[in-house]
Amino acid sequence: MLDVAVKLLAKHGYHGVSMDDIGAAANITGPALYHHFKGGKEQMLADALIPVSERLLTGGRHYASLHSADPRAALEALVDFHLAVTVDSPEIVILHLHELDRLPEEPRREVRKLQRLYVEEWVRVLCELTDGLKPQQARVLAHGAFGLMNSTPFLALGDQVGPDEVRDLLREAALRSLAPG
């Protein structure tokens, strides 16, 4: 049910989808969804965005720690991990970029907190990789790279450029922008 909701919300927007629409796509009635999601679409959105934010943080910490002695390898692992999430789940990126403000205050704060912690993993690795790079500069670079990698849902995937090629192209571009040379 949540996967169906994510796809519909990403495609039509929060206000473009009703609980009845989601229920019909999930082969149940809209009102029956409230048995699983008492908070309706807001809860569905929170149930989609909080776990992916937790997954990014946990994965970021994991992949960076695998290469704690080699910042370049840690950066490559972070880029690969981030692209795996965005290329494999473009709908969740769309929801995050366009619908995060629809969340009630508490879940929105939780997502933002998890995001900040995820960014700090990148900042730490970037500062270790580049002598003299200040944390505030590393944050700018990390957010710039996220913008590049999070563009995935808006690219013409499929007939013209497949997911593997998109992943490879964005990987190369992100690494060049974060650690040239």
pLDDT in tens, 54-64: 999 999 999 99
pLDDT, average across residues 4-13: 91
Q: Is the pLDDT of residue 153 over 90?
A: no
Question: What is the pLDDT at residue 157?
Answer: 53
Question: What is the pLDDT at residue 89?
Answer: 87
What pTM, to 2 d.p., does this model score? 0.89
Q: Is the pLDDT of residue 155 over 70?
A: no
Question: What is the pLDDT at residue 35?
Answer: 87
d(CA 14, CA 18): 8
Question: What is the pLDDT at residue 55?
Answer: 96
Q: Three-state SS for 134?
A: coil
- In angstroms, the Cα distances linking 23 to 6, 35, 39, 73 are 12, 12, 15, 45
Question: What is the pLDDT at residue 116?
Answer: 97
Question: What is the pLDDT at residue 159?
Answer: 66
pLDDT in tens, 62-112: 999 999 999 999 999 999 999 999 988 888 998 999 999 999 999 999 999
- In angstroms, the Cα distances linking 2 to 51, 75, 102, 156 are 12, 32, 16, 25
Q: Given its phi and psi angles, is residue 17 left (phi above 0), alpha (psi -120 to 50 degrees) or beta?
A: beta
- For the chain, domains (ranges, CATH) are 40-178 (1.10.357.10)
For tokens 């991990």, what's the residue? Answer: 81
Residue 181, both tokens:
């040379």
Q: Is the pLDDT of residue 22 over 70?
A: yes
Share of the chain above pLDDT 90, in %: 73
